[in-house]
Amino acid sequence: MSEVLYEVGTELPPVTVRFTRADLVRYAGASGDLNLIHWHERTALAVGLPGVIAHGMLTMGHAIRVVTEWIGDPTKVVDYQVRFTRPVVVPDDDEGTEVTFTGKVASINDDDTLTVTLSATSAGVTVMAKASAVVRP
């Protein structure tokens, strides 16, 4: 951890993940979230979505990797909150969609924890806002 910078404004290395429909089906089985909007196109469209969407928890799980890979220890995350602004639409093809997650140290708190703001973009649009993690270095 001695190599990690603790200055406000420090940008964390981004993490880019590709989601495919097969990933969504596997995650649905593992998580028990079998909602049709995560794998069935007609249902997703019928409820007003732009297509099949990735699970929020799957997206959140990958987003926090920005912090855990930077800090080196996932147990150092003491709080994590996310608000989604748009769904991550996953097309029915072999390519799927890429999501890029970024983070920046927003503050060094009185208790010596760090607050890191996070963001995510997919297909050129922000899909996550008001996302933050508190980390104990």
User: 99-130 pLDDT, tens per residue?
Assistant: 999 999 999 999 999 999 999 999 999 999 89
- The CA-to-CA distance between both ends of the chain, in Å, stands at 8
Q: Is residue 1 part of a domain?
A: no
> Which one, of 130, 128, 131, lies nearest residue 17 by Cα?
128
Query: Domain count of the chain?
Result: 1
Instruction: Report the CATH number at residue 68.
Output: 3.10.129.10
The residues near 114 (Cβ < 8 Å, ≥ 6 apart) are 6, 105, 107, 108, 134, 135, 136, 137
pTM for the model: 0.92
Question: For residue 66, what are the domain limits?
Answer: 11-18+54-135
Helix (H) / strand (E) containing 28: helix 21-31
For 51-106, how does the pLDDT look when each residue is reduced to its tens digit (9 = 90+)? 999 999 999 999 999 999 999 999 999 999 999 999 999 999 999 999 999 999 99
Q: Is residue 27 part of a domain?
A: no
What would the two tokens of residue 53 be? 């969407």
d(CA 41, CA 7) in angstroms, rounded, equals 45
